[in-house]
Amino acid sequence: MKSFKIPEATIMRLSVYSRYLNRLLKQGLTTISSSEIAQNTGATSAQVRKDLAYFGEFGTRGVGYDVGSLYDSIAGILGLNKDWDVVIVGAGKLGLALSMYEGFRERGFRNRAIFDVDPIKVGKKVQGVKILHSDTIIEVCSELKPDIGIIAVPGEEAQKIADQLIAAGVRSILNFAPRVVSVPYDVQIRNVDLSVHLEILTYNMAMGDKG
């Protein structure tokens, strides 16, 4: 695998392409062109070709791509040729939405545990997954060894939860709390604030640029 840095925008688009290819596979389609992929994923044909070129030669000039093998290749690049164990901290509306998000399961993300501090929620199940008390995060995660911890708690709790996940050995964290969380250098974190997307829209509206 090439060792130079692939742009993050490319990885995000690969993720979108692969979901589209998966849909085509289910529909029984076998070949597809870069312009068709582009049209159905909000990219341009040039982007599709350039994104794929980072990882090698796919497709045949004048024929297009084989849907199945392109899907397998992209899934491999994204690490989706295996299942990943996930825990979700926070069983509020967002945590529950994430627990039930069909997109996660389809992509091989297995929800192993949900944590919350609310005694009314603790002990209940969400699609077969038990809600445990947040006091047990370190203990349970040391045992389960999840690949990814998802944080969906109020902003002021986020750093404490991240620290507990890290203490339990979790090395990849997705933080949906509206507060940036700091982690040691050997832990990867993505801070996803949902307001950011709305504010790109308002920025464009304020600029009078609807492009």
Positions in the binding site for a copy of itself (CB under 8 A): 1, 8, 11-12, 14-16, 19-20, 39-42, 76-80, 84, 86, 92-94, 96-98, 100-104, 107, 109, 147-148, 154, 171-172, 174, 178, 180, 182, 185-207, 210-211
Nearer to a copy of itself, 132 or 177 (CB): 177
Nearer to a copy of itself, 69 or 202 (CB): 202
> Smallest distance from the beta carbon of 129 to a copy of itself, in angstroms?
14
Nearer to a copy of itself, 29 or 205 (CB): 205
> Smallest distance from the beta carbon of 33 to a copy of itself, in angstroms?
17
Residue type, 85: D
Tokens of 197: 């997307």
> Strand pairing of 129-133 and 125-126?
antiparallel
> Smallest distance from the beta carbon of 168 to a copy of itself, in angstroms?
16
Tokens of 193: 């604030």
Nearer to a copy of itself, 25 or 192 (CB): 192
What are the phi and psi torsion angles at 172 (to 5°)?
-140, 125
Count CB neighbours of 211 within 10 A. Answer: 4
- Which residue(s) pair with 109 in the sheet? 84
- DSSP alpha helices (H): ranges in the chain? 8-27, 34-39, 45-53, 67-77, 93-100, 102-106, 137-144, 158-167, 195-207
Nearer to a copy of itself, 18 or 164 (CB): 18
Residue type, 123: G
Q: How far apart are CA 156 and CA 90, in angstroms?
A: 13
> Smallest distance from the beta carbon of 61 to a copy of itself, in angstroms?
26
> Smallest distance from the beta carbon of 62 to a copy of itself, in angstroms?
26
Tokens of 25: 């596979």
